[in-house]
A = this chain, B = another copy of it.
Amino acid sequence: MEPIVVTYHQDSRPTLKRPILVEGLPGVGNVGKLAAELVVDQLKAEPFATIHSRYFPPQVIVDDSGIIALVSNRLYLSRQPGPHDLLFLVGDYQGLTPEGQYELADCVLALAKGLGVERVYTLGGYGIGRMVEEPKVLGATTSAALVAEMRAAGVLFPEGEPGSGIVGASGLLLGLGRMRAIEGVCLMGQTSGYFVDPKSAGALLTILCPLLGITVDLADLEAKAAQIDVITSRIREIEGGETSQRSREDLHYIG
C-alpha cells in the first residue's frame, strides 16, 4: 500500500474558478477544526477526495449506527458565485510523525496545485495559557502584501508572536506552499489552550468569512461556547476566582 492513498469522490480534475484552499485540522483548542467544519456544513460543500495514510493512527472511527470508517483527512468542494471556488481540508488527525506531516502537506499541495489553487488559508488556535474573553485573531503569511491585506481585514500581527513559530499542517501548508508558489495565510484564534474553544473558532470565522466572500451562522458555535463558559465559571467559583492548573487539565479532557 502506498504511504498516502487519495480516493476521489468525483472528477479528480474539475474545472474550478481560481480556487482557495481552507485547512482546519485538529490542533490547539480544535479552533481550526471547529471553524472549518462549520463552514463545510453550512455551505453544504461536497466530498471531493478522501486521504488515508499510514502516517495516521491505525484506527477506525465507529459511528452511531455501528459502522466503521478508517481515519482520514477529507477534501470538500464548494463552488461559489464569487470569484473563488472553495476547497476545504478537514479530518480526524494530523500526521503522527514529522515525516508524515511533511508528506501529507506535500500531497495536499500537489493536489491543490493541480486544481489551480492560488491561495491557502490555514486555521488554528494560538494558546496563551489563560482564559480570554474576547479572542483576537493573529496572522502569519507568505508575503508582505498579504500581511497588509490581512491587517486591513482585522488580523493582528504582534511583533514576536507566535515566538515558537507554527507547528503542523497550518505551518507546513504555508512553508511548502510557498515553494510551489501558492500564497498562504495562517489565521490563529487566541485560546487558553486548555480545552476545545468554539468562541475562538467564532472569532476566527468573523474574520475569515468576509475574506472568502461567504456568510455563515455562528449560532451553533455560540451555543457550544456558552456551555463551556458555564463549566469554566463553575470551576472558577470552586477555586475561588482562579482556575487552578488541575481543573484546567480536567477541562482539557472534558473538552
Question: Which A residues form the contact surface with B (CB < 8 A)?
Answer: 1, 3, 5, 7, 52, 54-62, 64-71, 95-96, 98-99, 101-103, 105-106, 139-144, 147, 157, 159-162, 165-169, 171-172, 174-176, 178-179, 184, 186
Q: Considering the chains assembled together, what is the distance between the CA atoms of A20 and B167 in angstroms?
A: 34
Closest to A164 in B: B59
Q: How many copies does the complex hold?
A: 4
* Among candidates B65, B105, B162, residue contacting A147 with C-beta atoms closer than 8 Å: B65
Name the residue of chain B whose CB is nearest to the CB of A143. B67
Q: Are A174 and B68 in contact (CB under 8 A)?
A: yes
15 A-B pairs besides A60-B140, A61-B165 with CB distance below 8 A are: A5-B179, A54-B103, A58-B98, A58-B168, A58-B169, A60-B174, A60-B175, A62-B165, A64-B159, A65-B147, A65-B157, A66-B140, A67-B147, A68-B171, A69-B175
Contact B98–A66 (Cβ < 8 Å)? no
A196 to chain B, nearest CB (A): 15
Contact present for B1 and A68 (CB under 8 Å)? no
Chain B residues whose C-beta falls within 8 Å of the C-beta of A142 in the assembled complex: 67-68
| A101–B105 alpha-carbon span in the complex (Å) | 22
Contact, CB under 8 Å: A68 / B167? no
Question: Which residue of chain B has the shortest Cβ distance to A138 in the bound complex?
Answer: B66
A165 CB to closest chain B CB (Å) equals 5
Is A141 touching B179 in the complex (CB atoms < 8 A)? no
Smallest CB gap from A140: residue in B: B62
Q: Which residues of B contact A161 (CB under 8 A)?
A: 62
Give bound CA distance, A139 to B67, whole Å. Answer: 9
Cα distance A55–B103 in the bound complex, in angstroms: 11
Q: How far is the CA of A77 from the CA of B178 in the complex (A)?
A: 24
Instruction: Given A60-B165, A60-B166, check contact A141 B68 (CB 8 Å).
Output: yes
Query: CB-CB < 8 A to A160: which residues of B?
Result: 64
How many angstroms from the CA of A69 to the CA of B115 in the assembled complex?
24
Contact A59 B166, beta carbon cutoff 8 Å: yes
